[in-house]
Structure 1
Amino acid sequence: VVSASGTNTDTYVELSFSSSAGSLAPGATLEVQTRVNKSDWSNYNQSNDYSFNASATNFVDWNKVTGYISGSLQWGIAP
């Protein structure tokens, strides 16, 4: 979890991979599973969370989650 600044922005989660992780062929997929929690295990307030999709009950394409390659935006819309 990384501190951030901006309108309605205070933190974000960043996942990165070194070049030794290899690469995916075009059309290939990868599932990354992770969990994020507060130190006291209390609930997050998602009412002002840019990337939260209250209507999604399963995996969906969601352009409010961004993907970058070598620092360049490749997927999604940054807040």
Structure 2
Amino acid sequence: MTEFDRLDITVQGVINLPDGTVITCPDCGGTQDLTIYGPVGGAGRLMCPAGHHFDPPAPVDAVALLADAAADPRFERF
């Protein structure tokens, strides 16, 4: 896998689910500045600033989460 096959997107602020719920790290409760990462076209995972890695909560579509974040011009891609 090359750097072009992978996305790392830092979201400034919080990620809101369609019902308004904020995605929260299950380990530390962090909600700010989460990173969404994963392979292009694949499922995204999340990482909080403390370094905890976790899957998006149900019923979030992990593939759509990464694709939507990649297409959003407000988010910084690495």
TM-score category (smaller protein): under 0.3
The structure number with the bigger radius of gyration is 1
Greater helix content: 2
Q: Could you state the TM-score of these two structures normalised by the residue count of structure 1?
A: 0.23
Greater strand content: 2
